[in-house]
Structure 1
Amino acid sequence: MQILDILALFIFLAGVFIYINTYYLKLPSSVGLMILALGLSLAMLVLNELIPEFKLGTERILKDYDYHEVLYQLVLSFMLFAGALQIDFKKLAEERTPVLILALVGVIISTTVVGIGVFYLLQWIGLDLDIMYCLVFGALISPTDPIAVTSTIRKYNLSKNLETRIAGESLFNDGIAVVVALTLLDLAHSTEDHYIGIVDILWVFGTDIVGGIVIGLFLGYLGYRLLKYIDNDEVEVEVLMTLALVMAGTQLAEFTHVSAKQAVVIMGLVIGNEGKSGHVTSAAGDYVFKFWYLIEETLNAMLFVLIGLEMLIIPLRFDYFAAGLFAFIIVLFARYVSVGIPISAMSTFRKMEGNSINVLAWGGLRGGIPIALSLSLPEFEGKEVLITMTYTVVVCSVLYQGLTVPYLMRLTFNKKEG
């Protein structure tokens, strides 16, 4: 089977999942897709046991093809660009400080708490994973799913300030968490060869982030000028231009050894806001934003399909899944700490709604970004444990939190009204 056949299969299954969820399950996108992905995994496991030839074919498809480059170079870049493109800085102007603090400080706290907690958890269970890879897990599991969050909160009469903080923090922490995860991964590989100090760590973080910002600003402004020059009636030209910019930005950042993911986030922010700014006649047409929203939804669905299939070649070990269940508790605790500390600190000089911590913490569902990051990791000892924990945490987060967020919202606002 050729790689294009496999890609076609993923797209077909993603389309089927979206159709079934939209017209039959009628659940929030992430919840419905996760349930269907679990059903696919179960069906495939049964077929593998009943038909040995089917099992061999499935394992060959998943093991013979390296999805690392596709996920790392294409899927992550497209999803981050699409998410950043939707942010409206005008609406975030008044809330930019709490949003940026929540995203930056929150990711750092979450990464630290989850990484250290998982390190000792695995030792207690009897599994061995280097502390640096535990921190990588802490970073890659920190991003929350903006699609799931925003689609849920819009159904409730939240204050505009709180709604903006939730949506903005969820969108910003994606890019920050990816940069932190990939930088920690570089450091994990470096420590295998020689000892690195705090100066080395700061240098890697600094060059990755600053270099990515510079490339993102340059290509983002270039893209804005090109989109302004192109007539809005030239639909295919504007769409192809944004696709070319994302791919070129990713390759340029990789060539210069800086953060490609930070670059595409900045590009998305510049094009998304300058392209819609009032002093020009809509440099980018509405269809450009609709196209990238569709790309984000489609890739998100494909990732759920992929991780459902990926579980077929991961050892179904009880200790791996037990680690994932305990890790979910640690991740949820870390989420409360990572939003609780910044909000408590900011409440001393800024008015913060009393229900902010609960809504931000429980509404922070995990989704496509952690899945893509875990599957795109290079080979290392303990990768299977990390992928299994990611899978388990995302499943528990989407199903348990996703299905109970409406009850939390109703309970919170009933109290408020009373």
Structure 2
Amino acid sequence: MTVIAAPTERAELVALVRTLVAAGQPWCENSLDGPARPPEESRIAHPVAALLDEWGFDVTLVGRHPTRQNVLATKVFGPGPTLMLNDHLDTYPSGPPSRWSICSDNPYEAVELDGRIYARGTSDTRANLAALLTAARRVVAEPPSGGTLLVALTVDEERNGVEGSSYLVDTYGLRPDASITVEPTAWTDGARGGIALATAQTGHALLDIAARGRSSHIWRPDTGVNPAQFLAEALADLRVHPVEEWPVSVVGLTAGEAGMAQFTPLSATARVAAVNIGPGVAAGDLLTAFQRRLTASAPAGIDVEVSFVDGPTFVAGTIPLRDDDALVGAIDSAYLSVTGEPVRHYTKPAFNDTIRFRHAGIPAVTFGPGDDGWAVYDESISIDTMQTAIRVLEHAVRAYLSV
């Protein structure tokens, strides 16, 4: 088992991030369209659970699968509300190490450089987890007079939380009074920067678009109807004129058959991710809207079918928490106290566990030191921003539990 030490100083915080980055990788990788192998988040869950137990939390591991256990750690200080600090245990895949300019030997061996830590899982979300753990440790070290602090570390977040946050709220019955998901919300604007507060989240969907036409010889394209050509034009149009207000990213294209290069393809498929999905959108309505749009643009001889990729590939967004919500007020006050500036409120354009908690009726927000942008390679996080987040989180927890 990996042994994790509690950080007290900057160097120890960096050491904790290094340990968390390496723990369980690459078995804790996950992928929206299906992992290459079954993930095993327990490889990081067990050492983190041991650390929380050492600090005096009552720790439970729960989940449907023995290798995919969510960590629930509870510390009761006295009567009062229960505040949950949440983060996740899986990461998204690193891709080939050769595509990294830093950590090119091993994307899971963290490198400290120019005030930042580089590795897969730093910004999303091992370093956010390190900030969460450090803040929780500080609260326990000088306990408030009341309330309960719950740390919930989930599996499966990179695949929309089915075995993690969804399991905890739908099957396990998890219902804290409020929740902070410590995920990337940091921003930069030239020389200025800070950590924003996401009071709402947008949803997303992963769709397959299949087109079928009529093959022709390459010398007589006029005798066929080319589905690959149709998809190329349709996807270009979707980029300029999205369906409703849902921009798409093309993540896969397939057309043609081996040994058939003399002929235009009979079929072609595209896989697209639709984003910016609001809280009132139903899965069936989104699918119908895409089907209607693509069918209307298809020429005679092209049949189009739009479907969701198998799995939990549709998630609706959330309604913003009000500015006068107790949790929002606690973070507003803590951020102003620590930084001297008001915290920015915004809607985060991505999935995390906050969405599942909000769908279950739990007041939940997202606030964390990772950059609110997703690095394919050379992922990193600012150490100074981590330390700011730790202070804000500690102040916010104390403020909320004192209500």
Question: Aligning the two structures, in what range does the TM-score lie when normalised by the shorter sequence?
Answer: under 0.3
* Structure 1 length-normalised TM: 0.27
Which structure has the greater CA radius of gyration? 2
* Structure 2 length-normalised TM: 0.27
Between 1 and 2, higher relative CO (CA 8 Å, sep ≥ 6) is seen in 1
